[in-house]
């Protein structure tokens, strides 16, 4: 709960991923996403259209562009909102792929390059993506002089053509919301949205743009009986998937330990020492030490260290 509002009542909401799939595509509910995007991008956003989930997916193998929601905003801008629960090592490339594909798909044959749309990639992740202790990250393409250190600007003709000032304004921008890093202390409107994303709850005191509509539309109690059944079924499906993943991880961990112990016995190393080497290697890996140094210190192969 918000540390500054300890006695404030909270209201349980449905999860944001369910909302994006089922409720927020309706034009009547655009206000929710418009509020969230306006707070994040620090300017008023008006939605023209929302594409179907994975609407620009070409085939079953084209899995890395799993866009949860794709928004056409005013000023001919595209906003991609993706939500990811499970760890994905190549997620940064997935972000790049999603923005690149959207740019190409919205450039019609025969269009000149000035018709390329500005893309915002918003990524709501519930795993520890990269190394960093903040909960909101913003990425841009900066063009800076190597000698003058000045940022490259558009000339007068380009400013008139694009209605922008800096070259970076033409390129995709990336936002990463590392929800689990948030400390639940909502200090500003963006924090209020992140509080909801993390806890599926909205405090009565929250006043961020769009949050009032979210409180109304995303309330579990306000759903029909059929919608409630579908939502609860989706939660159960998620639990089953989570259990399957945990089971697979445990099985892999056990098999890896058995292989390591067998290898240790072949080398004349006791089980206790082998386990200790794995324990040390795991700590060193978490500390960020290069794998080759860990291998030299513990006697484990780089492949074994990667699997820890």
Express each pLDDT in 158-212 by its tens digit. 999 988 889 999 999 999 999 999 999 999 999 999 999 999 999 999 999 999 9
Helix (H, G, I), strand (E, B) or coil at 21: helix
CA distance 296 to 291: 9
Domain count, the chain: 2
Which of 167, 195, 223 corresponds to the end of one domain? Answer: 223
Regarding whether 233 and 215 lie in a shared domain, the answer is no
Which of 188, 207, 223 corresponds to the end of one domain? Answer: 223
The DSSP code for 26 is S
Task: Give the lowest-confidence range in 3-17, 71-85, 285-299.
Answer: 3-17
Higher pLDDT, 6 or 205: 205
Regarding whether 115 and 37 lie in a shared domain, the answer is yes
Regarding whether 294 and 180 lie in a shared domain, the answer is no
Regarding whether 54 and 196 lie in a shared domain, the answer is yes
Q: What is the pLDDT of residue 259?
A: 57
Regarding whether 254 and 185 lie in a shared domain, the answer is no
Regarding whether 206 and 123 lie in a shared domain, the answer is yes
Whole domain around residue 178: which residue ranges? Answer: 10-223
Express each pLDDT in 39-63 by its tens digit. 999 999 999 988 864 434 444 444 3
Regarding whether 243 and 201 lie in a shared domain, the answer is no
In the sheet that 47-51 helps form, which strands lie side by side, from edge to edge? 47-51, 69-73, 77-84, 118-125, 173-178, 136-139
Looking from the CA of 133 toward its CB, the CA atoms found within 13 Å total 1
Regarding whether 275 and 198 lie in a shared domain, the answer is no
Give domain status of residue 94, yes or no: yes
Q: How confident is the model at residue 303 (pLDDT cuts 50, 70, 90)?
A: confident
Give Cβ neighbours of residue 103 (< 8 Å, ≥ 6 apart): 78, 116, 117, 119, 172
Express each pLDDT in 132-160 by its tens digit. 999 999 999 999 999 999 999 999 999 99
Give domain status of residue 2, yes or no: no
Higher pLDDT, 261 or 282: 282
Contact 47, 72 (CB under 8 A): yes
Give domain status of residue 51, yes or no: yes
Regarding whether 249 and 233 lie in a shared domain, the answer is yes
The DSSP-derived string for 235-246 is: HHHHHHHHHHHH
Which of 66, 79, 75 is CA-nearest to residue 34? 79
Query: Would the pLDDT of 301 be above 70?
Result: yes
At 82, list the tokens: 């993706």
Which of 223, 249, 278 corresponds to the end of one domain? Answer: 223
Query: Would the pLDDT of 2 be above 70?
Result: no
pTM of the model: 0.72
Q: How many CB atoms lie within 10 A of CB 208?
A: 21
Regarding whether 204 and 148 lie in a shared domain, the answer is yes
Regarding whether 129 and 67 lie in a shared domain, the answer is yes
């Amino acid at each position: 709960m918000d540390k500054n509002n300890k006695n404030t009542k909270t209201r349980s909401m449905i999860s944001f991923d369910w909302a994006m799939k089922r409720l927020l595509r309706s034009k009547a509910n655009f206000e929710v996403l418009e509020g969230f995007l306006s707070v994040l991008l620090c300017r008023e956003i008006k939605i023209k259209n929302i594409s179907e989930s994975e609407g620009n997916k070409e085939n079953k193998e084209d899995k890395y562009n799993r866009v949860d929601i794709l928004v056409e905003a005013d000023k001919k801008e595209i906003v991609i909102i993706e939500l990811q629960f499970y760890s994905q090592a190549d997620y940064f490339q997935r972000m790049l792929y999603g923005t690149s594909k959207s740019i190409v798909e919205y450039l019609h044959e025969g269009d000149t390059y000035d018709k390329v749309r500005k893309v915002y990639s918003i990524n709501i992740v519930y795993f520890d993506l990269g190394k960093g202790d903040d909960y909101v990250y913003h990425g841009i393409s900066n063009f800076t002089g190597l000698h003058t250190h000045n940022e490259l600007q558009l000339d007068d003709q380009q400013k008139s053509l694009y209605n922008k000032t800096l070259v970076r304004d033409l390129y995709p921008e990336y936002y990463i919301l590392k929800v689990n890093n948030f400390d639940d202390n909502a200090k500003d409107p963006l924090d209020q949205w992140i509080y909801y994303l993390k806890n599926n709850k909205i405090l009565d005191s929250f006043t961020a743009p769009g949050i009032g509509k979210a409180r109304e539309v995303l309330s579990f109690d306000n759903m029909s009986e059929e919608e409630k059944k579908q939502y609860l079924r989706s939660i159960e499906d998620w639990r089953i998937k989570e259990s399957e993943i945990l089971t697979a991880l445990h099985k892999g961990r056990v098999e890896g330990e058995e292989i390591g112990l067998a290898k240790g016995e072949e080398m004349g190393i006791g089980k206790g020492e082998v386990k200790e080497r794995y324990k040390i290697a795991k700590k060193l890996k978490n500390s960020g030490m290069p794998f080759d140094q860990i291998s030299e210190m513990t006697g484990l192969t780089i492949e074994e260290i990667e699997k820890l």
